Amino acid sequence: MVISKGKQTWPAADVDKIYLAACSTVQREFGGSNSPVRPRVKLVQGADKNRVDLDNKAVLLVRWDPGLFAQDVVLLAFEDLMPVERRLTIARRAMMWADATVAVAQLSK
């Protein structure tokens, strides 16, 4: 979905092409499951500043910028690929690994 504030235009074919390429790239790099990564993304043009709204899965751009759009879709696709439960599991594993490490200085005591 594309929302345009004002009379801004955007190349619809480029939006679709960049969206699919960003999602496919995230899938290839970080995926592993057979289900494709395709988050629902809303593109809003005419925003007061460029940003991504992770909660609402929206890319807000002052004006059309293919590079920023691709970056934001990658963020949203990665978040879609890595649900909250999996992120928490990975964070807990990192904490366990951190607790299991010993400084070299402690070994010499």
Report if residue 100 sits inside a domain. no
Is 94 a member of any domain?
Answer: no
The total domain count for the chain is 1
pLDDT (mean) for 56-68: 93
Residue 37 has pLDDT above 90, yes or no: no
77 in a structural domain = yes
Lowest mean pLDDT among 4-8, 55-59, 83-87: 4-8
pLDDT for residue 29: 86
Which pLDDT score, from 0 to 100, does residue 78 have? 87
pTM for the predicted model, two decimal places: 0.73
Contacting residues for 21 by C-beta, under 8 A, at least 6 apart = 70
